Amino acid sequence: MLSGKRGLVVGIANEASIAAGCARAFAGAGAKLAATYLNEKALPYVKPVTDAFGCELLLPCDVRIPGQLDAVFERIGAQWGGLDFLLHAIAFAPAADLHGRVVDCSAEGFALAMDVSCHSFLRMARLAEPLMPNGGCLLTVTFYGSERVVAHYNLMGPVKAALESAVRYTAAELGAKGIRAHAISPGPIKTRAASGIAHFDELLAAEAAATPERQLVDIDDVGALAAFLVSDAARRVTGTIIPVDSGQHLMA
Ligand code: NAD
């Protein structure tokens, strides 16, 4: 389904990452992949994951460090001459701001969470645009705490709402070039980022009991949807926020 396509995966921390499930699905469908790691400390956890699917390029990328994201796209341009899709699966908020009330969050914490979790998607879209002369697909990952108040999701709620809006504007602005954009919205999955959300185990237990399918989703479920979205089969589908949550978004 993806043979001949070249993709960039940003957000693998370890084998439990949503980005790892997506990378596995992309590679399994025949895509050629580049991936990033946050820093040298993260590399020993990322490399075994990327080695397992034969990643061609593994590059450092902390989106807060000026120039690092640009360097990733420069290297891809030099090595591949183009890019067909990317996955942005990163988020961050300072613990002090994440664990308090949204109304109390600091301006600095809010700005940092928005920069890493939302504006970085727009920067990736801008850098990908010249590498996608024949179109492409940009994916990010959101959560239904953007629309509804989910206990303990706090600051990430407004940040994900902004990310979803950024996806819609990106899809509208780049659509004429054949560049599509989506946010996948998975139900809760136990990952390192999720462990930063207070009482996450309670959210998982409640979700498992209440979803129409009575099932939690896993990273391979997200990967299967991601592989479809970046494929030509989804060529007329853009600008959506797509739940993969066993039907939880239907419930009051
Ligand atoms: P994860 O901890 O495996 O991945 C988060 C990634 O963000 C890590 O690879 C980390 O290195 C990266 N990151 C953080 N700050 C960064 C920076 N400054 N520069 C570059 N990368 C940075 O957790 P995950 O759950 O796989 O998270 C991936 C995405 O999925 C996030 O956007 C998260 O909000 C979203 N999401 C997660 C869930 C869930 O329940 N786990 C549900 C819905 C959406």
pLDDT of residue 205: 94
Q: Is residue 98 part of a domain?
A: yes
Q: Is residue 149 part of a domain?
A: yes
| Residue indicated by tokens 């308090």 | 100
183-201 per-position pLDDT tens digit: 999 999 999 999 999 999 9
Q: Is residue 49 part of a domain?
A: yes
Q: Is 241 in the pocket of ligand 1 (CB under 6 A)?
A: no
Q: Is residue 94 part of a domain?
A: yes
Q: Is residue 243 part of a domain?
A: yes
Is residue 128 within 8 Å of residue 83, measured between CB atoms?
Answer: yes
CATH number reported for the structural domain that contains residue 204 in this entry: 3.40.50.720
- The domain tally of the chain equals 1
Q: Is residue 208 part of a domain?
A: yes
Q: How far is the CA of 26 from the centre of ligand 1 (A)?
A: 18
Spatial separation of the C-alpha atoms in residues 22 and 237, rounded to whole Å: 19
pLDDT tens track, the chain, 252 positions? 999 999 999 999 999 999 999 999 999 999 999 999 999 999 999 999 999 988 999 999 999 999 999 999 999 999 999 999 999 999 999 999 999 999 999 999 999 999 999 999 999 999 999 999 999 999 999 999 999 999 999 999 999 999 999 999 999 999 999 999 999 999 999 999 999 999 999 999 999 999 999 999 999 999 999 999 999 999 999 999 999 999 999 998
- Which atom of ligand 1 lies at the shortest distance from residue 62's CA? 19
User: CA–CA distance from 98 to each of 63, 91, 111, 151, 204 (Å)?
Assistant: 19, 12, 12, 12, 18
Spatial separation of the C-alpha atoms in residues 151 and 199, rounded to whole Å: 9
Q: Is 186 in the pocket of ligand 1 (CB under 6 A)?
A: yes
Q: Is residue 1 part of a domain?
A: no
Q: Is 98 in the pocket of ligand 1 (CB under 6 A)?
A: no
User: What is the domain extent for residue 140?
Assistant: 6-250
pLDDT of residue 146: 98
pLDDT of residue 252: 85
pTM score? 0.98
184 burial level (CB within 10 Å; 0-12, 13-18, 19+)? buried
Choose the catalytic residue: 5, 47, 160, 177.
160
231-244 per-position pLDDT tens digit: 999 999 999 999 99
